[in-house]
Amino acid sequence: MKRVLLIIGGGIAAYKTLELIRALRKRGLAVRCILTRAGKEFVTPLALSSLSGDKVYEDLFSLTDEAEMGHIELSRDADLLVVAPATADLLAKMASGAANDLASTALLATDKPILAAPAMNVRMWLHAATQRNFSRLEGDGVRFVGPGEGEMACGEFGPGRMAEPVEIADAIEAMLGVVTKGKPLTGRRVVVTSGPTLEPIDPVRFLSNRSSGRQGHAIAAAAAAAGAEVVLVSGPVSIPDPAGVRTVHVEAAVEMLAAVEAALPCDIAVFCAAVADWRVEPAWQKIKKGTSAPTLALIENPDILATIGHHSRRPRLVIGFAAETEKMLDHARAKLARKGCDMIVANDVGGEAGVMGGERNTVHLVTANGVEDWPTLDKAEVARRLVERMAALIEGSR
Ligand code: CTP
């Protein structure tokens, strides 16, 4: 049984670690907790030990604890260390190598991989000091899941929300590489496109759109957690690369197409990117303001989904998305046929749905056999269910 040492920092998101522990135990992992002094203000040792089924180690120096299991053994005994919520303070300690309490000492004493799920106020996350610590830790090999964007407990909006427990659990499984049952995509290769594309107009200007990449990234992470080897081809986004996935960063649609073709052959391809429909021939120099406004001659971009849907090396399962603001199902059905795909995941991005950039999504699965409506779900949950569906479809198409 793989063992996770969960280090719980002091943030309001600490309550989500209770759900995380349950999710990890359901997936057959053992969890042992270290609770920082600040973390104890948000969750109780009793709740943690009831859910983890193990003793909770606290920052207070305890001679009995040290005798039974010292900080060195605690971190050596685990296969993976997880810091959630990773507060600004914990990240700063980790980045500087401070070791003045049990949590930071265990983190410094370990030779095991570390996953951190940051959670803090948006200004704290965006502060140069935190960003410097984040980059330094990434350079040291620490992996990150989240933070997500959205409304925060403090009422502000922006990046800083801790990733949802399922996302953290997926990232943990991907890092542990636990190939057990419940990994229906083991041995499969999956390519996912995500995010917007960015089409240059001149060296400083571009055409793009509001896609956040959240849904595509969540699908890539869920496919990896289900055992697949995943290549994520992403346009420019502000969210981190998912753990356990090979991410290829591109900008323009033509680069995205080339990266997807380079990733073939694969078993399943999911096209979640909001590809700009048009590009322009970019000017080499910055276009100067003149007497009349310049005219942009739009050139149609290649349709990546349609190209792969009709490709000589077409993956067995091709899934497209359809972002619509009206007549959603009619348009989705038409796209299914035109783009040569097996399934269209249609979503309504019009009006107040707030799908673009938001946390939740209401989708409808359109196949040649009909339409299935799903309730409004977290994007991570949509991803997990889609991956289950993908596994069933690819099994059935053998
Ligand atoms: N897509 C793509 N390459 C493009 C345009 C779209 O791969 N150049 C993919 C998207 O990733 C998505 C699907 O096609 O899976 C639908 O994209 P959407 O923009 O909704 O449809 P369009 O083809 O642009 O059609 P319309 O403009 O009529 O909405």
| Domain edges within the chain | 3-176, 189-396
Q: For residue range 248-259, what is the model confidence (pLDDT) as tens digits?
A: 999 999 999 999
CA-derived radius of gyration, the chain = 23
Pocket-testing residue among 215, 305, 324, 355, ligand 1, by greatest number of atoms within 8 A of Cβ = 305
Q: For residue range 260-304, what is the model confidence (pLDDT) as tens digits?
A: 999 999 999 999 999 999 999 999 999 998 878 889 999 999 999
Give catalytic residue positions: 154
Residue whose CA is at the smallest distance from ligand 1 atom 17: 322
pLDDT band at 76 (very low <50, low <70, confident <90, very high): confident
Ligand 1: distance of its center to the CA of 116 in Å? Answer: 35
Q: How far apart are CA 379 and CA 385, in angstroms?
A: 10
What are the distances in angstroms from CA 8 to CA 13, 57, 60, 78, 117? 10, 10, 14, 15, 10
Residue whose CA is at the smallest distance from ligand 1 atom 28: 331
3-176, which class in CATH? Answer: alpha beta
Superfamily of domain 189-396: CoaB-like (3.40.50.10300)
Give me the mean pLDDT over the 368-394 stretch: 91
What are the distances in angstroms from CA 109 to CA 71, 143, 145? 8, 17, 22
Would the CATH topology of 3-176 be identical to that of 189-396? yes
Residue whose CA is at the smallest distance from ligand 1 atom 9: 305
Q: For residue range 78-97, what is the model confidence (pLDDT) as tens digits?
A: 999 999 999 999 999 999 99
pLDDT above 70: residue 67 = no
Ligand 1: distance of its center to the CA of 304 in Å? Answer: 8
Atom of ligand 1 minimally distant from the CA of 301: 8
Give me the mean pLDDT over the 106-126 stretch: 93
Ligand 1: distance of its center to the CA of 269 in Å? Answer: 14
Q: How far apart are CA 294 and CA 343, in angstroms?
A: 41
Give me the mean pLDDT over the 351-374 stretch: 79
Positive or negative torsion for Cα 11, 2, 23, 69: negative
pLDDT above 60: residue 178 = no
Question: Measuring from each residue's beta carbon to the nearest atom of ligand 1, which residues come in under 6 Å?
Answer: 193, 253, 271, 273, 275, 277, 301, 303-305, 320-323, 335
Stated pTM of the model: 0.65
Ligand 1: distance of its center to the CA of 271 in Å? Answer: 9
Atom of ligand 1 minimally distant from the CA of 321: 15
pLDDT band at 77 (very low <50, low <70, confident <90, very high): confident
pLDDT above 70: residue 210 = yes
Q: For residue range 316-352, what is the model confidence (pLDDT) as tens digits?
A: 999 999 988 788 888 988 999 999 999 999 987 766 5
Ligand 1: distance of its center to the CA of 211 in Å? Answer: 13
Pairing of strands 299-300, 114-118: unpaired
72: three-class secondary structure by DSSP: helix
Picking from 245, 396, 371, 384, the residue whose alpha carbon sits closest to that of residue 316 is: 396
Atom of ligand 1 minimally distant from the CA of 307: 7
Residue whose CA is at the smallest distance from ligand 1 atom 20: 322
Atom of ligand 1 minimally distant from the CA of 322: 20
